[in-house]
Every structure is written in structure tokens, then in C-alpha cells.
Amino acid sequence: MAAGPEGKLQLVQRHVRAFPDFPKKGILFRDICPILKSPAALTAVTDLFEEHVRSHQLQVDLIVACAGLDARGFLFGPLLAQRLGVGFVLVRKKGKLPGATVSVAYDLEYGSAEVEIQEDAVAPGQKVLIIDDLLATGERQQSGTELQQKVEQADIQGCMVVIELRDLKGADRLKPHNIFSLLQY
């Protein structure tokens, strides 16, 4: 395992593949599947997220993973929550959670979606950190922040992602929330 943060970051970067014209022409898809296949790379992602939270002394009660048409953010959230000793909450595609839910619709870089959270998932004032695999246009993460603030009145500590596609300016959409991304393209 790479010892320092720079070595860990290089390990993560080596495990991201680029696929041009997927899922449609003109999109360069950044694939994180090799990270998940490599125990060392997955540990490095979790380590880097944990180091960021601890070095910035973020107070966190819950990790919230946002997912629209896919659930890749779910793959990192529980690992980080376990490391930090905090809970984990799902934001899912509409119709996938039981019980009373609240939903928000949003646009994607190549489609649209609606996500929801269980009404009682986050208590008012709880400190949450939103985690996802990718920040592109920011629509998915913005829907998560809207759900947290509007319905649960949570205190959002920031958003963390493995990959940020800077040209799509997703971080601008999420202001004033702090964004931490491991890799930027």
C-alpha cells in the first residue's frame, strides 16, 4: 500500500479508466470499477477521505450518499462512515425506499431523475457530509443538499467526491458548500 497521501492519490488515479463516447457520443466516461476491484485502491480512497475529514476537523453525524440512475456513491459512503464511527444514509432513486419519503427532481448531464430520502433519515441540525463518486454538473449532489436542508434542516459540512469534472462546473452549483475531490479532470 502507498504510504503517504500523494502515493495513495497516484494509486487511485492509476485505477481510473477513460471510455470515450460512453454512454453516448461526446461523453468521456471515467470508470471507477478498477478502484473497486483493487483492495489497495479502495483502501486508498477511504484513507484519503478519512484524512480529509480528520485534518479539517469536520464534525460529522452522518454520511449521506446520493444516487440517481446509479449507486456508485453508495460504495464509498459506508466505508467512510464505519471509519468515522458515524451513521450512513441513502438518497435513492424515487420508488426504491420504503416508508414515508420526500423527493426532489433534477437534471443530469445526459438525462433527468428524481431522488428521495426517508422522512426520518436525518434529524434537524444533524451534521452531514455528502459523498459521491463523481461531480459533473452538480445536479445530483445539489438534489442531495436540497433534501437535507429543505426537509431535514441538516447542517451540511460539505461534499466529497472521487472525481470532479471541472469543465462542467458542478462545484459552482454547490456553493457555498465546500467540495473536496480526490481527482480533477
Strand ranges, E, within the chain = 17-20, 28-31, 62-66, 87-93, 101-108, 111-118, 127-135, 155-164, 179-184
Which three three-digit cell numbers place residue 69? 440512475
Separation between Cα atoms, residue 166 and residue 152, nearest integer Å: 29
User: ∠ CA 167-66-151 to the nearest 5 degrees?
Assistant: 115
3-state secondary structure of 19: strand
Q: Active-site residue numbers?
A: 72, 109
Which three three-digit cell numbers place residue 102? 420526500
Per the document, the length of the chain is 185
Separation between Cα atoms, residue 75 and residue 97, nearest integer Å: 17
Separation between Cα atoms, residue 173 and residue 5, nearest integer Å: 28
